[in-house]
Amino acid sequence: MRSKYIIPVFAALCLLTGCGGKKVSNTVSVSVEVNTTSAVTTSVGTSAAAVTSKPVTTTTTAAAKPEPPKNLVLKGKDSVEVYEEIKLKDFITEKNVDLKDGDVLRNTSDTGVYEVEIPYIYGGNEFTQKLQYSVIDTTAPIVLNAGWTPNHKVGTPFDLNNYVGFADNFDKAPTLTYEGDVDPNAVGDYPLTATATDSSGNSVSWDLTISVVEQVPTPVDNNPRVDYSDFSARYDQEGVRFGIDVSAWQTNVDYNAVRDAGCSFVIIRIGYYYSQITMDDYFRQNIENATAAGLDVGVYFYTTDNSEEGVREHARWIADNLNGQQLDFPVAFDWEEFGNFQKYGMSIKDLNDIYAAFADEMEKCGYSAMLYSSKNFLNNFWSERTKASHPVWLAHFVDETDYEGDYAIWQASAYGHIPGIVGDVDMNIQYMNR
């Protein structure tokens, strides 16, 4: 967080309003004149007398409104960061009065100048004081992909966005520029310096080399395979158990063999979204057979959607297709399109909000949510609020993870081999006390 200058701010000139402030109505002293005329008739025996009251004039004067303190000291921060979660009591830097509603959050949802009425108590009376503050953005974009596969086929159009990924906390569309030249029609190596700049003028730069080649090389898989029995023996300790996650990539799975190998649970892909929601071809088979084998089951959903309403639709679709199926794990949200994130027109906050919408809708449908993500993006992308809101399923393919945040499941390998599955499968450790 950047340091803030603290200066007094009083009666504001701008028309923008901060949230959380309470506007206090003024009480005015009044003099009220009431004229009352009434006719009363009484009967005594056989005689009647008419009595008419005289006009009565009554003047009532309310108590005078107390004056605000002449020695008022109420100073707030001159500026705060966009999306900063700052309460009124933390926003105020100097005061000789008692704040009212000190836990109300300031409005930091957009950059600009804001005016807010601060309610306070002085001498047992409530007053308000207007303060002005600026919401600023001083955070540079972050690099998500500095050029993982910078091999460009000769003779094809070149766009650096195809090879790098970046995101900004606030700006949905940071600008990408680069220094250096790339001739897409000539084989060779072209060193570049790329720069991503947001709308507030913050920027980040990095170096990479684009290789223009006759043929883009086929990726070579040199990852060592891990036997499930070795995996479980290595990480066996009190309070853990072992499982796998599967999709159509594993095709037909013998879940009895998987269970007999020591596997306790399986998390199954229910579907995915690119341009439309699609059910995994093996979902029905997987969940039926895994349940029949006595394994605990959960589901995950892979999506590239960039809208809150879109992921709410995903949640409803998942619930409809589960049709009351009881799960042993929360429904995992899987968003992994970070390599070219800028193409989705979202800020970092936007995707955090999208996950929150998904989790909210899942809960409305009777299921809880879980966030699946790699260590890199858990550290650099997902907010502390997001990670604390629901369990985390960590993906980190190393012998010993150094991720310092909380996680309920660790996906430690994508190259596991287990009886009952032909080919690779992801292997996971669940921590029962988390």
Structural domain total, the chain: 3
* Same domain membership, residue 182 and residue 126: no
Strands 265-273 and 296-303, bridge-based pairing: parallel
What's the domain range around 185?
A: 142-213
* Same domain membership, residue 246 and residue 208: no
- pLDDT given for residue 149 in this prediction: 82
* Same domain membership, residue 240 and residue 203: no
Question: Of 170, 188, 213, which closes a domain?
Answer: 213
The CATH code of the domain that includes 188 is 2.60.40.10
State residue 289 phi and psi, 5-degree precision. -75, -35
**pTM assigned to the model:** 0.82
- Residue 221: inside a domain, yes or no? no
Give dist(CA 176, CA 196) in Å, integer. 5
Give dist(CA 217, CA 36) in Å, integer. 100
The structure tokens 């088979």 sit at 285
- Residue 204: inside a domain, yes or no? yes
* Average pLDDT per block of 10 residues along the chain, 434 residues long: 34 34 27 30 37 52 74 93 94 92 92 93 90 96 93 97 97 98 98 98 98 94 94 96 98 98 98 97 98 98 98 98 96 96 97 98 98 96 96 97 98 98 98 90
- pLDDT given for residue 25 in this prediction: 26
**Helical residues (DSSP H) of 110-264, grouped into ranges:** 228-235, 255-260
Question: Of 101, 120, 136, which closes a domain?
Answer: 136
Neighbouring C-alpha atoms within 13 Å toward the C-beta of 428: 24
- Residue 220: inside a domain, yes or no? no
- pLDDT given for residue 254 in this prediction: 98
The CATH code of the domain that includes 391 is 3.20.20.80
Neighbouring C-alpha atoms within 13 Å toward the C-beta of 251: 4
Distances (CA, A) of 319 to 42, 54, 290, 326, 364: 78, 78, 19, 11, 10
Handedness of CA 95, 96, 100, 102 (dihedral sign): positive
* Same domain membership, residue 344 and residue 414: yes
* Same domain membership, residue 268 and residue 194: no
Is the Cβ–Cβ distance between 388 and 401 less than 8 Å?
Answer: no
Q: Which residue, 10, 21, 1, 39, is CA-closest to 101? A: 21
